[in-house]
Structure 1
């Protein structure tokens, strides 16, 4: 697996159309480098709980805080980086081979995930030691 520099992973702007009636953000095919195959969202996550705790072998994911805020800890096997998601017009594109953990959910936080693949258990790396082997760390 090729090493992914965490500095290359940053928030992407989602186009926002402002209007006196409210804002509208649009995700179209040009924003993501893949076709969206699965959409899911996390909500009612207790403040002291965490989600994630895995990496993907093939899938990429785009995370958006539709409401509230939460932290995403990214790990490439050599270093970590924490990104706070708290704006519905910013998203975090997580490439394959990156361990992620989501934590510090605010009350009412909603995390939307747009995935490049359908659910496939074989694509998940759920043990950190297996992840380290996968990335050659």
Structure 2
């Protein structure tokens, strides 16, 4: 894999929050607040407290994860180094570039994980087996 990414290429980005005591709004625009054009949006919810999701890597797709409600952690692995990041605010997101193994873990009860993705869904972009991932990054 050319231009191999590390867990330190996964950046926490603060999103501008506008509002007052009556509530807040946070906007996300293509290539402004996040470093890619958004092609797909999805969210994970009704995940029992303490459970995990994800556990895969992408070949081309960038993802931006936000705890829209509640909290969860993201366990990042580049085949050499592991890094764990807590997401617990709706104005803070994590950019995960392609080539990084990511697992969302330790969901709080009632949490919502919002995911903004640079590509439409394509099963061929996913690496779902960790040994296959290690082979991919070491090619």
Superposition TM-score, scaled by structure 1 size? 0.95
Return 71-80 or 15-24, whichever deviates more: 15-24
**Between Structure 1 and Structure 2, how many residues are aligned?**
137
Which stretches in structure 2 are left out of the alignment for 5+ residues? none
Deviation for aligned residue 1:18 = 2.4
**Where does residue 45 of structure 2 map in the other structure?**
43
Counterpart in the other structure of 1:111: 113
Q: Which runs of 4+ in 1 moved over 4 A?
A: none
Aligned-residue offset at 1:47: 1.9
Which TM-score applies when normalising by structure 2? Answer: 0.93
Deviations 1:25-60 (A, max 9, x none): 111121122211111000011123210010000000
Partner deviation per Cα, 1:57-84 (whole Å, 9 max, x = no partner): 0000000000000010000111100000
Mapped pair 1:22 → 2:9: no
Question: Which sections of structure 1, spanning at least 5 residues, go unmatched?
Answer: none
After superposition, the C-alpha distances for 1:63-110 in whole angstroms (9 at most, x for unaligned) are 000000001000011110000000000000000000011111001100
1:7 Cα deviation from its structure 2 partner: 2.4
1:4 correspondence with 2:1: no
Give 1:19 deviation, angstroms: 1.7
Q: Report SS of the residue matched to 1:18.
A: strand
